[in-house]
Structure 1
């Protein structure tokens, strides 16, 4: 299902150099991984994430929490590979495969099935909103994504709309926001528009605005928050 939004957002002109942007993001990867994991309730601190990604084991944590850190790191490395190849096509067929690949990376140890659309109903905690039925998901992806691409006037709009659209429809049993955020970042980086990084310190505001979005399907408030607080330009 789609949602409503009234305000427009322009791209950065001139666009950032993509190779330099990737180099900067790689240097900041522990921060990006930490923030993404923190939104999932992962207890690893930033220094612990930094140490773990340097190859040093951290004691006192569940194996599942450690694996989640590595999975997010691996998904970002896949993102970098996609952008480096520079042969991406933002069409429905290509994005379908990319969505599934990202989900398979980030959710394979957390969900009963990953990398394919869910086969049963799910709920979102804290809201009465009910995501689409499983049998509707293929049709929603195929029919709505072209509409979403068409209505976005900039790649920045497209990146954030894809994130919200993926979170709203809950295509997978788990990892929906991580999956959609990685696709969003792929679009932003590919087009030299910065990166999408929700800070751990903004978790309460983000969660509150997302619940409002689920309940109303009105995206103006969450969209403004994402653009003002989560779009990092280097």
Structure 2
């Protein structure tokens, strides 16, 4: 799984900024936010929108803040960084945002139950993935799906993992990842299979083929 794109950091940040509303709109669908694209655009622009719940507005503004953070940061990616992303994403939504989960959770629709995360083990896995001989794209996807399956946080796990993966892609000049609204049904089906089996081969390949965007250069 090679990198599809080979951009500079500046080019990749430009690409991410240009597509920020589209990506936020797509990720908000994971929380069943039902805003239209123009409504999402208006909220991201900092203007008020009638007929949208305060909870939905909070989800979108949280995602905006997380994206703005990763577009400015040059920090090394580690557990502390992932916790910081979750702190933005799950602000005012979860039992404790920005902290590892300390109790049991279930995942809707699957029998698999993730263990309570251990910070040392999580750090070790993050380091193993990042120091593996894989491409930057494959590392980002592998890390994203590891975070999702292990439900590291009380809430916002999928949103946090997608934004973390995008941070790694942007830093490597490997494009932007977006699972759009039309892809969600198939993605959720693959995700459920992955949760049960622990085998990320199929969902990684599907994501690689359908969800990465960039600038192709001559």
- Range into which the TM-score falls when normalised by the shorter chain: over 0.9
1:74 maps to what in 2?
65
Which residue does 1:144 correspond to in 2?
Answer: 125
Whether 2:168 is the aligned partner of 1:176: answer no
Whether 1:31 aligns to 2:22 is yes
Q: Contact (CA 8 Å) 2:176, 2:212: kept in 1 or not? A: yes
Alignment correspondent of 2:141: 160
1:19 aligns with 2:10: yes
Check whether the contact 1:39–1:200 (CA below 8 A) recurs between aligned residues. no
From the superposition, tell whether residues 17 and 143 of structure 1 become closer, same or farther in structure 2 (CA, over 3 Å). closer
Distance 1:169 1:36 in 2: 19
Distance in 1 separating the partners of 2:205 and 2:133: 15
Contact 2:91 2:97 survives alignment (8 Å): yes
Aligned to 1:117: 100
Cα shift at 1:17? 2.1
Taking the aligned partners of 1:65 and 1:41, their CA distance within structure 2 comes to 9
Structure 2, unaligned runs of 5 or more? none
Paired residue for 1:185?
Answer: 166
Match of residue 104 from structure 1 = 87
- CA root-mean-square deviation: 1.4
- What SS does the corresponding residue of 2:161 show, helix, strand or coil? helix
Q: d(CA) in 1 for partners of 2:130 and 2:19?
A: 29
Shift, 1:97, TM fit: 1.2
**Separation in 2, partners of 1:114, 1:125:** 20
4+ residue segments displaced more than 6 Å: none
Cα displacement (A) at 1:151: 3.3
Unaligned runs of at least 5 residues, structure 1: 1-8
Write the distance in 2 (CA, Å) between the matches of 1:196 and 1:181: 8
Partner-residue secondary structure (3-state), 1:16: coil
